[in-house]
Structure 1
């Protein structure tokens, strides 16, 4: 498969996987707290990655570990907890919509902090995608006034973290394999996540049936939606641009909407129009 076709294939797979992550978080929150969801997600991903990628850790030079630690913090640790906390108040589909701010933040940080060049069409695409996202958000707020939209700030912070993460990977870790980067990330995060889980008194509720069901959802999220997906995402960053890689966040809401429908989250015609606008934005932002 040609490189151009391959990057679009990666983008599609990531959209399907990460678009399903928000409903898995929602199901996990039925029996678990937000801190337990965030920590278990990281722990399951770490165990899986260490099993398949432990040998790849030796390929990480000593001077690169500081960047591995930074990308683990901004790319996984902070967002994992922010998204779980945000979904205690917001619908999974709305959270996915707000996540689509990531390409805009990536472009801004890339240009202002990392001196990454961009084209006018890319900038236009990002703003069109952002417009579609705002259309979805405001329409959702009108239809769900009972939800606390201050929690949306947490998702915006997470999108800034993701934007910083992809620029760091593109600048400092492009010479490492995606498996090495991902496994290194989760090795760094394993002990802090175990400590947080212990402090939540998790052992006292693990025997409860609904808690066990929630753990199953988060296990799927950790292994597939975090471990495997991060490997694909880092590969996508290396073979394309940070803006193209993060444009997956424009497609994620489309997948999340359909999961929301199955879970009785109401969608309006305006929201579907917003999703169409987002797709136009991702097409333009991907053009060179």
Structure 2
């Protein structure tokens, strides 16, 4: 398989895995709180990666560690809790669509902080995508008056973290093994995540009921496949392509997430569906080559 085929294979695989992660978070939250979900996800992922990727840590040089810290915080720790809170309040399918802001932010912050240039066409695409997202949020607030759509801001903030993560990996960790990056990220987060979990009184309040055990099952799948393996694949994708191309996975994720959401009984109006198409058109403009 050549580099071009690998790029699209990784992109397709990530869209399936991460597209399914939203419904897994929704199901897991039946038995745990958002803070517990975020912390458990990082702890289980860290243990998994420690078992399979510990030897890869030898490849990390002293110059890499500061960027490993940045990507751990911006690309995993902060977004992990923000997404857990958002999915707990807003339909998982809507959260997945809002996650499509990531490529836009990757472009914007790449230009501001990493030396990438803007094109007029890309700027138009960003504006189109933002309008689509605004319609999506406003219509969602009308369709689901019991849901607090202010929590949509959490996804926007998380997407900023993801955008910095992609740009940092491309510019400063290009020469480092993808598994080493991911393993380093989560081993750094193991102690902070454990402290957060202890502060939630998880070990004294968690009940080993069928509901609780089922939640832990969903979190384990989410951690091992949706985080540990998927993050490694994403880091590799960034290295063999570009931050913008890699972040474009967030445009495909909603297709999978919406299907899961509809199966689970979530509502999606035609206006929201059209708003999603508008966002995708904005994406097309951002990524279209002349």
> Which range is displaced more, 216-225 or 261-270?
261-270
Rounded to whole Å, the distance in 1 between the matches of 2:136 and 2:9 is 26
- Inter-partner Cα distance in structure 2 for 1:182 and 1:77: 12
Match of 1:219 in 2: 220
Give the direction of change, closer, same or farther, for the CA distance of 1:239–1:128 in structure 2 (3 Å limit): farther
Using the TM superposition, give the Cα deviation of residue 3 of structure 1 relative to its aligned residue in structure 2, in angstroms: 2.1
Call closer, same or farther: CA 1:131–1:6 in 2, change over 3 Å: farther
Once the two structures are superposed, residues 124-143 of structure 1 have per-residue CA deviations (whole angstroms, 9 ceiling, x without a partner) of 44444444433433322221
Does structure 2 retain, via aligned residues, the 8 Å contact 1:74–1:164?
yes
Deviations along 1:259-288, one digit per CA (max 9) or x if unpaired, are 110111011222333333444444443344
Aligned to 2:176, what secondary structure does the other structure show? Answer: coil
The answer for the alignment partner of 2:107 in structure 1 is 107
Indicate the residue corresponding to 1:253 in structure 2. 254
1:116 aligns with 2:116: yes
Whether contact under 8 Å (2:137, 2:152) holds in the other structure is no
CA distance in 1, matches of 2:127, 2:220: 35
How do residues 268-283 of structure 1 correspond to structure 2 at under 5 angstroms? Answer: 268-283=269-284
| Aligned equivalents of 1:284, 1:98: Cα separation in 2 | 18
Q: Which runs of 5+ in 1 are unaligned?
A: none
Distance 1:251 1:130 in 2: 17
TM-score under structure 1 length normalisation? 0.94
Asked whether the equivalents of residues 98 and 133 of structure 1 are also in contact (C-alpha less than 8 Å), the reply is yes
C-alpha distance 13-121 of structure 1, shift in aligned 2 (>3 A) = farther
1:50 aligns with 2:50: yes
Residues 154-199 of structure 1 show CA distances to partners (whole Å, capped at 9, x for unaligned) of 1111111111111111111011011010001011001111111122
Specify the alignment match of 1:82 in structure 2. Answer: 82
Matches of 2:109 and 2:89 in 1, distance apart? 29
Partner Cα distance (2:272, 2:11) in 1: 22
Alignment map for 1:151-162 (pairs within 5 Å):
151-162=151-162
Larger CA deviation: 239-248 vs 177-186: 239-248
Give the distance between the partners of 1:123 and 1:196, measured in 2 at CA.
Answer: 39
Q: Give the 5 Å matches for 1:125-204.
A: 125-204=125-204
Show the 5 A alignment for 1:205-216. 205-216=206-217
How many residues in Structure 1 have an aligned counterpart in Structure 2? 288
Whole-angstrom distance in 2 between the partners of 1:105 and 1:114: 12
Structure 1's 211 and 195: CA in aligned 2 closer, same or farther, altered over 3 A? same
Q: CA RMSD in A?
A: 1.7
Counterparts of 2:224 and 2:131, CA distance in 1? 33
**In terms of mean alpha carbon deviation, does 275-284 or 197-206 score higher?**
275-284
- 1:206 CA drift (Å): 4.1
Q: Contact conserved, 1:106 with 1:166, CA < 8 A, in 2?
A: yes
CA-CA distance at 1:69 after TM superposition:
0.9
- Write the distance in 2 (CA, Å) between the matches of 1:5 and 1:80: 30
| 8 Å CA contact 1:60, 1:176 repeated in 2 | yes
Check whether the contact 1:178–1:234 (CA below 8 A) recurs between aligned residues. Answer: yes
Correspondence for 1:22:
22
Q: Check whether the contact 1:254–1:275 (CA below 8 A) recurs between aligned residues.
A: no
C-alpha separation between the residues in 2 aligned to 1:86 and 1:59? 36
Q: For residues 227 and 165 of structure 1, what CA distance do their matches in structure 2 show?
A: 16
